[in-house]
Amino acid sequence: MTPPSATPLSRPTHGYAALERGGPVVPWAFQRRALRPHDVALKITYCGVCHTDLHSIGKWGQEFPLVPGHEIAGEVIEVGSAVSDFKPGDQALIGTIVDSCRECPPCKAGMESYCRAYPTTTYDGVDRVDGRRTRGGYSDHYVADHHFVYHLPSGLDAAAASPLLCAGITTYSPLKHWKAGPGATVGVVGVGGLGHIGIKLARAMGAHVVAFTTSAKKAEAATELGAHEVVLSSDAKQMAAQAFRFDLILDTVATTYAMDPMLKALTLNGTLCSLGIPDKFDLSPMMLAMGRRSVASSGTGGTVETKEMLEFCAKHQIVADIELITPSQLAAAFQRLAKGDVKYRFVLDLQN
């Protein structure tokens, strides 16, 4: 349903959509809105392929056709009459959210990802002005309010930087909140899309970084990413040796697993932050009492912290390790992503 006050549609856009739940992603034409005064239009060059995209096409999607994609890089081609911080030709990025209520305390603090009225997601969300479904970055154009558009820092490759807008900020925010830095011992569970950036960021922040993986094959890769140590989490003996070591563990595992050995690795007042957010946790509350440990989670980051993260990544030359794919390779990429067979992020090349 589109209300009568809807912003007119004026921008023919070629995208890639799942036409129905669970369906393949296929070419699909639609129109983006005409610019409102605060809008910026991007010609999209790259878009990261996130696990969320898979889940949205599968169980989470609200409305189909669904155009995924929330790790967007592109070039500004047009700006609205009230926009002064972007101009045509600027390289820009858009992440997981494109609007929020702007009035609640988290919004006022620039933590729009925690908007109490729920932020508008970059795709499959509902636009707050005209009620239309948002459509994501698997397309050649995007139109968004400049408040949620970021400048690509000079010196960062646009394709490799695009995943920073989801995987990057999702790991940066908890690392900052729980004070990863010199003197802190930080664990990163899972060396995948989120984990590989988490390792790089924690290392650059000055923490002692330990990667946990179930795959012996990933041990060397984790070291190359910056981990000081690698622990094979399937090895009970190695796990027992980690007891009371960690101030923070970033856990990227998306499935339920027996967490007690991991919780035991937390030191006094340590926190395990679940970024994989499984359906439920399998843990013994006694494991929390012993050591006053916490299990927490974190939901990406707002505009203030995203800008800070981009500056940090530019300073430390941190981007994602990517495999560039064309739209015709999407189906195969989804299959590999579902199996965790990617080093470490697919990025869709939309230049042609």
Binding footprint of Zn ion on the chain (CB under 5 A): 50, 52, 100-101, 104, 107, 115, 166
Question: Rounded to the nearest 5°, which phi and psi values hold at 119?
Answer: -70, 160
Q: Residue 190 or residue 270: which is nearer to Zn ion going by CB?
A: 190
96/233 with CB nearer Zn ion = 96
Rank residues 60 and 244 by Cβ distance to Zn ion and give the closer one.
60
For 288, other C-beta atoms within 10 Å of its C-beta total: 15
Smallest distance from Zn ion to CB 166, Å: 3
Query: From the CB of 165, what's the least distance to Zn ion, in Å?
Result: 8
Distance CA 114, CA 196 (A): 25
Cβ-based nearer residue to Zn ion, 166 or 230: 166
Interatomic CA distance for residues 159 and 350, integer angstroms? 10
Instruction: HSE, CB side, 13 Å, CA atoms: give it for residue 107.
Output: 16
263: three-class secondary structure by DSSP: helix
- Residue 199 contacts residue 175 (beta carbons within 8 Å): no
- Closest to Zn ion by CB, 92 vs 166, is 166
Question: Could you tell me the smallest distance in angstroms from the CB atom of residue 305 to Zn ion?
Answer: 15
What distance separates the 2 farthest-apart alpha carbons in the chain? 65
User: Which is nearer to Zn ion, 104 or 314 (by Cβ)?
Assistant: 104
Least separation in angstroms between CB 302 and Zn ion: 10
Q: What is the DSSP letter of 143?
A: E
Could you tell me if 47 and 347 are in contact, meaning their C-beta atoms sit under 8 angstroms apart?
yes
Minimum distance between the CB of residue 49 and Zn ion, rounded to whole angstroms? 9
Residue 7 DSSP class: P
Rounded to a whole number of angstroms, the minimum distance from the CB of residue 96 to Zn ion is 6
AA letter at 130: D
CB of 52 to Zn ion, least distance (A): 4
Cβ-based nearer residue to Zn ion, 50 or 342: 50
- Distance, first Cα to last Cα, the chain: 32
**Token representation of residue 290:** 């012993």
Considering beta carbons, is residue 143 or 197 the nearer one to Zn ion? 197
CB of 115 to Zn ion, least distance (A): 3
3-state secondary structure of 60: helix
Q: Are 45 and 35 in contact (CB under 8 A)?
A: no
Between the alpha carbon of residue 234 and those of residues 75, 211, 258, the distances in Å are 45, 13, 11
- d(CA 173, CA 219) in angstroms, rounded, equals 25
Residues in the chain: 352
